[in-house]
């Protein structure tokens, strides 16, 4: 099964992707995580991506699309894949479709996690992530067992640079201007399900699994 998780920043895509990865014994492919890994390791890609990410803009397609194919082509074809944060605009979606067609493959399902702007801003302000293993938490909705410490690997949690308020507004604008069109793109293909992302992470997960 190949799944795409769509939704604005803060919709809970990362959290649901982690749950779905376990549920489907699949692989979570997050372009945001790949960029953050490259920034942390100071690679050429990381250096190029950083300024776009810090200002809330999309990293250019020519950097992003090849990177996704490198990743997807390294994964066993029978494995379930949960794409989180890709595609992010129409040209990425078309490149993904085209590339999968060439590989006799396709996207089976697109889950659109819908959440209002006010909820997003509140959520992102409380979001904390583990820079070591990537697990995400929320100070109110999904707190770690020990304040500020990752449940999974015990590393200290941080707030992502692009989760600071000004950048969040820019990321929401970018989502509305470039990513939201993908809802119609996948609706027309008949593979889109919209889920109410205001519910708790467990309830959202239940709604997602029911729709699969």
Which residues are at the interface with ligand AMP (CB under 6 A)?
9, 31-32, 35, 52-53, 56-59, 64, 85-86, 88, 92, 162, 171
Q: Indicate which residues carry an active-site annotation.
A: 13, 88, 127, 160, 171
User: Smallest distance, Å, CB 127 to ligand AMP?
Assistant: 10
* Residue with smallest beta-carbon separation from ligand AMP: 32
User: Smallest distance, Å, CB 78 to ligand AMP?
Assistant: 24
The nearer residue to ligand AMP, 55 or 209, going by C-beta atoms, is 55
Answer for the pair 10, 192: CB distance below 8 angstroms, yes or no: no
The nearer residue to ligand AMP, 3 or 104, going by C-beta atoms, is 3
User: Smallest distance, Å, CB 14 to ligand AMP?
Assistant: 7
Angle between helices 117-125 and 165-174 (to 10 degrees): 140
The nearer residue to ligand AMP, 50 or 206, going by C-beta atoms, is 50
CA angle 22, 24, 27 (to 5 degrees): 70
User: Smallest distance, Å, CB 39 to ligand AMP?
Assistant: 10
Pair of tokens at residue 5 = 């998780």
**C-alpha distances in angstroms, 212 versus 28, 34, 121?**
17, 26, 29
Q: Is the dihedral of CA 69, 75, 78, 81 positive or negative?
A: negative
Q: How far apart are CA 17 and CA 126, in angstroms?
A: 19
The nearer residue to ligand AMP, 97 or 190, going by C-beta atoms, is 97
Return the DSSP state at 161: G
């Amino acid at each position: 099964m190949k799944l795409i998780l769509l939704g604005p920043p803060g919709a809970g895509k990362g959290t649901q992707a982690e749950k779905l990865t376990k549920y489907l014994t699949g692989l979570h492919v997050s372009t945001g995580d790949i960029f953050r890994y490259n920034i942390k390791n100071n690679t050429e890609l990381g250096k190029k991506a950083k300024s776009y990410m810090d200002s809330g803009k999309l990293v250019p397609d020519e950097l992003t699309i090849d990177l996704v194919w490198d990743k997807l082509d390294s994964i066993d074809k029978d494995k379930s894949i949960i794409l989180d944060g890709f595609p992010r605009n129409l040209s990425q979606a078309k490149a993904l479709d085209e590339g999968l067609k060439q590989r006799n493959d396709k996207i089976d399902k697109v889950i659109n996690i819908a959440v209002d702007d006010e909820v997003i801003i509140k959520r992102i302000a409380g979001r904390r992530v583990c820079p070591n293993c990537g697990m995400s938490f929320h100070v109110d909705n999904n707190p770690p067992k020990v304040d500020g410490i990752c449940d999974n690997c015990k590393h200290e949690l941080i707030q992502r640079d692009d989760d600071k308020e000004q950048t969040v507004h820019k990321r929401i604008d970018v989502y509305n201007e470039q990513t939201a069109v993908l809802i119609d793109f996948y609706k027309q293909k008949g593979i889109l399900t919209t889920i109410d992302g205001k519910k708790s992470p467990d309830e959202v997960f239940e709604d997602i699994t029911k729709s699969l």
